[in-house]
């Protein structure tokens, strides 16, 4: 009995240690963001702020724009919101339909199509920059939010298709065949039977796509300009702004603001992410 208690104590002690160690950078960011620069210069990195101020947060969020240059993250934040919502919705919808077709409505060459989509997962994004820029130029959507949505949808189809296809493989074919015998067509089966069963994998895909798109810097830097730049580009611009004094509290506040949406998504839907993976997201 004593041995079991000791083992449990050791396990919890180790877990708490690693949790504190993992969260230490977040603590430093939070405390630094609410300190004054005088306190940052004269204090200890791990010390708790003596006088809490949110002036750095206000400056990091500021929304003043002059021409094509903006100070603060607010304009970039809303650019990312306008980009991420349609990009996630479209790529997830297309992935669900593709996965449904490739798992339950196979056609001659469907395995080749799936293999080519999977091959797309292994192509470095840097290789896509030139052809994607050329395509956007032809479509007339270069350096715009629409262009960013287009890029993320195209690059997200392969991964979303993989998630949904592997999940749908686990749905009994008898269920689909019975619906066909009852006269249900392609779309009715999808909307009335398959999609309602897809909540776990749908949450996995939404979280995955949201995180990937919101945190993307490469595409945001290359395919946007001026008023269409996302928050990752805005954060980089803010951190690299040439000033006489480096404002670490503003940089830390800006970094937290940029991370808040993804943190919120994981906190709100994290349990569905784990449940979706366990339900078959990585099977197949």
Q: Is the domain of 150 the same as that of 233?
A: yes
Give the pLDDT confidence of 138-160 residue by residue, as tens digits. Answer: 999 988 999 999 999 999 999 99
Give me the pLDDT at residue 68, please.
45
Q: Is the domain of 121 the same as that of 17?
A: no
Q: Is the domain of 33 the same as that of 168?
A: no
Give me the pLDDT at residue 281, please.
43
Q: Is the domain of 47 the same as that of 136?
A: no
SS3 71: strand
Residue 129 domain boundaries: 67-281
Q: Is the domain of 13 the same as that of 150?
A: no
C-alpha–C-alpha distance, residues 98 and 210, integer Å: 19
Give me the pLDDT at residue 283, please.
47
Residue 178 lies in a domain: yes
Q: Is the domain of 45 the same as that of 74?
A: no
* Spatial CB neighbours of 256, under 8 Å, sequence gap ≥ 6: 29, 30, 33
Residue 180 lies in a domain: yes
Query: How many domains, in total, are found in the chain?
Result: 2
Residue 92 lies in a domain: yes
Q: Is the domain of 119 the same as that of 24?
A: no
C-alpha–C-alpha distance, residues 142 and 225, integer Å: 9
C-alpha–C-alpha distance, residues 66 and 277, integer Å: 46
Q: Is the domain of 10 the same as that of 114?
A: no
Residue 62 lies in a domain: no
Q: Is the domain of 32 the same as that of 115?
A: no
Rounded to 5 degrees, what are φ and ψ at 244? -70, -30
Give me the pLDDT at residue 174, please.
87
Give the pLDDT confidence of 161-200 residue by residue, as tens digits. Answer: 999 998 898 888 888 888 888 888 889 999 988 988 888 8
Q: State the pTM of this model.
A: 0.85
Distances (CA, A) of 216 to 149, 184, 213, 259: 12, 41, 5, 12
Q: Which two tokens stand for residue 207?
A: 């979280």
Residue 61 lies in a domain: no
């Amino acid at each position: 009995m004593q041995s079991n208690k000791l083992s449990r104590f050791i396990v919890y002690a180790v877990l708490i240690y690693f949790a504190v160690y993992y969260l230490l950078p977040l603590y430093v960011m939070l405390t630094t963001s609410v300190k004054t620069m005088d306190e940052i210069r004269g204090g200890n990195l791990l010390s708790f702020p003596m006088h809490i101020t949110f002036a750095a947060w206000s400056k990091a969020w500021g929304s003043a724009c002059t021409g094509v240059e903006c100070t603060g993250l607010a304009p970039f934040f809303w650019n990312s919101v306008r980009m991420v919502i349609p990009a996630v919705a479209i790529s997830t919808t297309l992935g669900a339909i593709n996965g449904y077709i490739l798992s339950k409505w196979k056609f001659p060459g469907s395995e080749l199509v799936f293999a080519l989509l999977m091959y797309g997962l292994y192509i470095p994004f840097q290789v896509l920059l030139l052809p994607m820029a050329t395509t956007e130029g032809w479509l007339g959507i270069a350096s715009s939010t629409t262009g960013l949505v287009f890029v993320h949808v195209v690059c997200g189809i392969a991964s979303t298709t993989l998630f949904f296809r592997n999940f749908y493989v686990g749905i009994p074919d008898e269920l689909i065949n019975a619906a066909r015998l009852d006269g249900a067509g392609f779309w009715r089966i999808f909307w009335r039977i398959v999609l309602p069963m897809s909540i776990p994998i749908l949450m996995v895909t939404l979280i995955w796509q949201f995180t990937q798109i919101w945190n993307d810097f490469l595409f945001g830097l290359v395919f946007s300009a001026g008023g269409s730049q996302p928050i990752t580009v805005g954060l980089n611009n803010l951190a690299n702004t040439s000033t006489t004094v480096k404002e670490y509290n503003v940089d830390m506040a800006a970094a937290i603001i940029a991370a808040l949406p993804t943190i919120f998504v994981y906190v709100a839907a994290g349990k569905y992410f784990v449940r979706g993976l366990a339900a078959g997201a990585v099977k197949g």
